[in-house]
Amino acid sequence: MSKNLPDMSQVTLEHISLRRMPNQERSRARVEHMLNCAIQLIAEKGSEAMTMSEVARLADVSIGSLYQYFPDKSAIIRALAEHYGAECLRCIKDGLSGAETLDALCDALNELIDVYYALFQAEPVIRDIYSGIGADKTLRDMEIAESRKSGALLSEALCRVAPDCDPERAATDCFLIMHFGEAAMRLAISVEPDEGAKLVDTYKRMAVSELHRAGTER
């Protein structure tokens, strides 16, 4: 149940796209520091209320330096989304890799949903970014790409343990299952904790039931 959560607290520039990539070590460290300061501010007051000047001030960096690496405010959010997204994907890959039977895969999905939910509860920045999606089109597309990738991982695992199932249909099913996972997390953290837990449980039942059906149906 309560497995050790992945640690995503320290941002590195791996997986992150910038307006200009720093060449020197000094600037590399500065950019990472900017992002970590942004994380702190988002955790404190939310990405909506966070201002660029605040990030610059907290990072002890001029506003111009900030804009050297991030073309606009949402670029910071996007950079963080890339970071967290990559970590989540790694997590999902790990979780699914061991399953050799359909039942084992269903169990793995079950556990992954728990981890995911715990992550949403533990990381205010993930909560903020995923809640605040819709702010710009790019972020929405990133979330969709994320479900697509995690769906592909699940679908791949499914076809491995259930070779008879139609790959294309499995892909669509798994894409939707994963996308609904994100919707369920967003919903669960927006309501009272009791109801949130019940909704996550319900989602787990549905997800596993659909995965099982996708792997059984011919």
Q: Find the binding residues for a second copy in span 44-63 (CB under 8 A).
A: 48
Q: At what angle do helices 137-161 and 73-97 cross, to 10 degrees?
A: 10
Shortest CB 52 distance to DNA, Å: 4
Residue 209 contact partner, candidates a second copy, DNA, none, CB within 5 to 8 A by sort of partner? a second copy
Decide: 79 and 70 in contact? Cβ < 8 Å: yes
Q: How far is the CB of 34 from a second copy (least distance, A)?
A: 24
C-beta separation of 177 from 151 below 8 A: yes
Query: Does 152 help bind a second copy (rule: CB under 8 A)?
Result: no
Contact partner at residue 103 from a second copy, DNA, none, CB < 5 to 8 Å by partner kind: none
95 versus 181: smaller Cβ distance to a second copy: 181
Burial class of residue 115, CB neighbours in 10 A (0-12, 13-18, 19+): buried
Give the closest residue to 6 by CA, choosing from 80, 104, 94, 81: 94
From the list DNA, a second copy, none, which binds 175 (C-beta under 5 to 8 Å, kind-based)? a second copy
**111 sits in which H/E element:** helix 102-122
Quick one: which segment of 4-12, 27-35, 106-114, 180-188 binds a second copy (CB under 8 A)? 180-188
Smallest distance, Å, CB 69 to DNA?
A: 7
Look up residue 133 and give its DSSP letter.
T
Which residues from 110-129 bind a second copy, rule CB under 8 A? Answer: none
